[in-house]
Amino acid sequence: MELNDIALIRRSIRKYDPEKAVSREELESIVRFAQEAPSWKNKQTSRYHIAITPEQVEAVRSCLAGSNQQKTEGVGALIVTTFRHTIVGFDREGNPDNEGGNSWGWYDLGLQNAYLLLKAAELGLDTLVIGIRSAEQLRQTLSIPDSETIGAVIAVGHRAEDAQRPPRKELDEIVKFY
Ligand SMILES: Cc1cc2nc3c(=O)[nH]c(=O)nc-3n(C[C@H](O)[C@H](O)[C@H](O)COP(=O)(O)O)c2cc1C
């Protein structure tokens, strides 16, 4: 499949088919692909805590806020994405290299997560990035160390219904050529 087709097939899916499973091999494959993303000084601080058993998936779902619990019903896996903080964007003495500080860790995590979403789409898997969740509950549920900042939860499964492509801004609204 062409990259352009993959980008268009990927949609935020909010209704999943409980009959269709996601395998550990598929999840390993999408994380392995995500690792190909660039990272600050190749530090690779992004981490993935993946709930795959029905019990763990339910436990992570309970950390999602409001309608996100309902939107992830029947999902095959839930990936909690994190990064080891105060490394990327910092020098050896722990001083920030510039005004970005830990934002660079977020940047690297986002880049990897974008690769992950595209690889999932190529494999015929559907995803939903979830930012509205309780980081504290997730930390407790999966015993995520304090050295990691918790980012998104990414639902992975198979769509039970299609989604419309939300409109994108015009190029001249977001680009300035000099
Ligand atoms: C960082 C981030 C957090 C998001 N959080 C949520 C969320 O909590 N719940 C939800 O339903 N969608 C969430 N989304 C999905 C966006 O609403 C969606 O990507 C956007 O509307 C564009 O639609 P598309 O992904 O189909 O292109 C999130 C997306 C991103 C990138």
The answer to whether residue 114 sits within a structural domain is yes
Q: Give per-residue pLDDT as tens, 82-94.
A: 999 999 999 999 9
The answer to whether residue 97 sits within a structural domain is yes
Ligand 1 mean position to 93 CA, how many Å?
Answer: 36
The answer to whether residue 118 sits within a structural domain is yes
The answer to whether residue 58 sits within a structural domain is yes
The answer to whether the Cα torsion of 83, 123, 27, 141 is positive or negative is positive
At residue 9, φ and ψ (nearest 5 deg) are -70, -35
Answer for the pair 160, 126: CB distance below 8 angstroms, yes or no: no
Q: Give per-residue pLDDT as tens, 131-141.
A: 999 999 999 99
Token code pair at residue 50: 């993946």
Residue nearest ligand 1's atom 13 by CA: 130
**What would the mean pLDDT of 165-175 be, rounded to a whole number?**
98
Residue nearest ligand 1's atom 3 by CA: 131
The answer to whether residue 142 sits within a structural domain is yes
The answer to whether residue 106 sits within a structural domain is yes
Query: What confidence score (pLDDT) does residue 22 get?
Result: 98
What's the total number of domains in the chain? Answer: 1
The answer to whether residue 65 sits within a structural domain is yes
User: 92: domain CATH number?
Assistant: 3.40.109.10
The answer to whether residue 67 sits within a structural domain is yes
Domain that holds residue 97: 3-160
Determine the Cα angle at 83 with ends 148 and 156, to 5°. Answer: 110
Strands in 148-157's sheet, in edge-to-edge order, are: 46-51, 77-84, 148-157, 126-130
Instruction: Tell me the pLDDT band of 34, cut-offs 50, 70 and 90.
Output: very high
- The ligand 1 site (C-beta within 6 Å) comprises 11-12, 14, 68, 71, 128-132, 152, 163, 166
Q: Give per-residue pLDDT as tens, 57-112.
A: 999 999 999 899 999 999 999 999 999 999 999 999 999 999 999 999 999 999 99
Residue 147 makes CB contacts below 8 A (sequence gap 6+) with 84, 85
Answer for the pair 91, 44: CB distance below 8 angstroms, yes or no: no
pTM equals: 0.98
